[in-house]
């Protein structure tokens, strides 16, 4: 990937025509792009030398993977559970994702209002944004496992742990869309004697509702994937747990294929629904 910024400067017009026109200029951003690309390339090469390969025959493993993927997708079957059971487990995973998203959204609206610079003071906003960045830095699975010590493994720990991450993600998205609101609108309402909550519910939230809904739905899609992962890694139940059992205990690649089909179907369904929904919102809004 060559990164030659083509900036035609205004200068050459004044110079003698015999000189070639200089079209490649090193700006600060060009240098930054090159350094970043070089650093990534170097780290990637270094990574391949430092990997812990554990004496795996690379070619053989690749071939085995292809064979596994083929078996998985073309010979998918039910062995340890039935179609209805799998469907019910998918519903549980969807339920976990939904609860997490709705709890996260409710908390995030209030924190997002506090985190928007134009609605509160700069200091309050900085504190909330700092806390949120800290929460986001801890991977979701670690939140779930930390809560599992207090609440026990299961849906309670999973929902609370996943909610933490959803809140921090949504607070960032919501507060950014609140901050885009024109200051004049708030000033006009304040001048007419509107209270804080009236400003929030009549101006701030209606104007950013479209953004909020599309971010929330995007988070729901992410939460579905996270809920599958939490079922596998933190015993949260749902289809993820069946997948973990099929992989680590029954060693049944064909059953994993069935589960993958279920997850894939839901994920694509959600994506299609989200695209349709967004189009409809754009037309109405």
Partner 1 sequence: MQADFFAKKRRNSIGFFAILAAITVGAIIITEYDIVKGFESLPRAVTWALGNFYPTQESLVKLPDILSSLIETLLVSIAATSIGAVFALFFALMGSNTTRVNAFFGSISRAIATLFRNIDVAAWALILLFSFGQSSLTGYFALFFGSFGFLTRAFVETIDEVSGGSVEALRATGANYASIIFQSVIPSSVPQMLSWVLFMIETNIRSATLIGLLTGSGIGFTFNLYYKSLNYDIASLVVVTIIISILLIESISNYVRRVIL
For partner 1, give the closer residue by CB, 31 or 188.
31
Site string for partner 1, 260-279 (x = CB under 8 A): x--xx--xx--x--------
Work out the widest C-alpha separation in the chain, in whole angstroms: 81
Q: Shortest distance, CB of residue 79 to partner 1, whole angstroms?
A: 16
Interface residue with partner 1, options 25, 38, 91, 188 (CB under 8 A): 91
Query: Interface residues for partner 1 in 148-187 (CB under 8 A)?
Result: 149-151, 154-157, 159-160
Residue corresponding to tokens 């090193």: 26
Q: Shortest distance, CB of residue 69 to partner 1, whole angstroms?
A: 7
Range in contact with partner 1 (rule: CB under 8 A) among 9-17, 86-94, 114-122, 170-178: 86-94
Alpha carbon distance 243, 34 (integer Å): 42
Residues near 233 by Cβ (< 8 Å), separated by ≥ 6? 141, 144, 240, 244
Q: Tokens representing 10? A: 């205004």
Break the chain down into helix, strand, coil percent, rounded to 5. 75, 0, 20
Interface residue with partner 1, options 10, 16, 20, 52 (CB under 8 A): 52
Query: Interface residues for partner 1 in 190-229 (CB under 8 A)?
Result: 225, 228-229
Site string for partner 1, 243-262 (x = CB under 8 A): xx--xx--x-x--x--xx--
Query: Interface residues for partner 1 in 108-137 (CB under 8 A)?
Result: 133-134, 137
Interface residue with partner 1, options 116, 141, 170, 199 (CB under 8 A): 141
Check: CB of residue 269 under 8 Å from CB of residue 103: no
- Total residues contacting partner 1 by CB under 8 A comes to 83
Taking CB under 8 A as the rule, does residue 26 contact partner 1?
no
For partner 1, give the closer residue by CB, 68 or 118.
68
Check: CB of residue 100 under 8 Å from CB of residue 92: no
Alpha carbon distance 72, 252 (integer Å): 9
- In 3-state terms, what secondary structure has residue 121? coil
Taking CB under 8 A as the rule, does residue 46 contact partner 1?
yes
Cα–Cα nearest to 265, from 67, 81, 94: 94
């Amino acid at each position: 990937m060559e990164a030659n910024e083509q900036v035609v400067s205004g200068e050459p017009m004044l110079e003698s025509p015999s000189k070639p026109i200089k079209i490649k200029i090193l700006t600060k951003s060009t240098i930054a792009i090159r350094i970043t690309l070089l650093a990534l390339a170097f780290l990637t090469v270094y990574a391949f030398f430092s990997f812990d390969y554990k004496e795996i025959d690379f070619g053989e493993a690749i071939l085995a993977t292809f064979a596994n993927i083929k078996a998985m997708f073309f010979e998918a079957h039910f062995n340890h559970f039935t179609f209805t059971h799998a469907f019910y487990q998918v519903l549980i995973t969807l339920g976990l994702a939904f609860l997490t998203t709705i709890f996260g959204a409710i908390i995030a609206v209030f924190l997002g209002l506090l985190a928007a610079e134009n609605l509160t003071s700069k200091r309050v906003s900085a504190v909330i944004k700092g806390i949120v960045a800290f929460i986001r830095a801890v991977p979701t699975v670690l939140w779930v496992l930390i809560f599992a010590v207090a609440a026990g493994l299961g849906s309670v720990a999973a929902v609370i742990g996943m909610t933490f991450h959803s809140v921090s993600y949504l607070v960032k998205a919501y507060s950014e869309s609140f901050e885009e609101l024109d200051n004049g609108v708030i000033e006009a309402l304040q001048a007419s004697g509107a209270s804080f909550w009236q400003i929030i519910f009549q101006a701030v939230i209606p104007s950013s509702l479209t953004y909020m809904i599309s971010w929330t739905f995007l988070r729901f899609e992410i939460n579905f994937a996270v809920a599958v992962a939490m079922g596998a890694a933190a015993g949260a139940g749902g289809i993820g747990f069946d997948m973990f059992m099929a992989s680590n205990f029954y060693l049944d690649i064909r059953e994993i294929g069935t589960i993958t089909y279920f997850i894939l179907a839901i994920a694509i369904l959600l994506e299609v629904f989200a695209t349709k929904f967004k189009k409809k919102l754009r037309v109405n809004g």
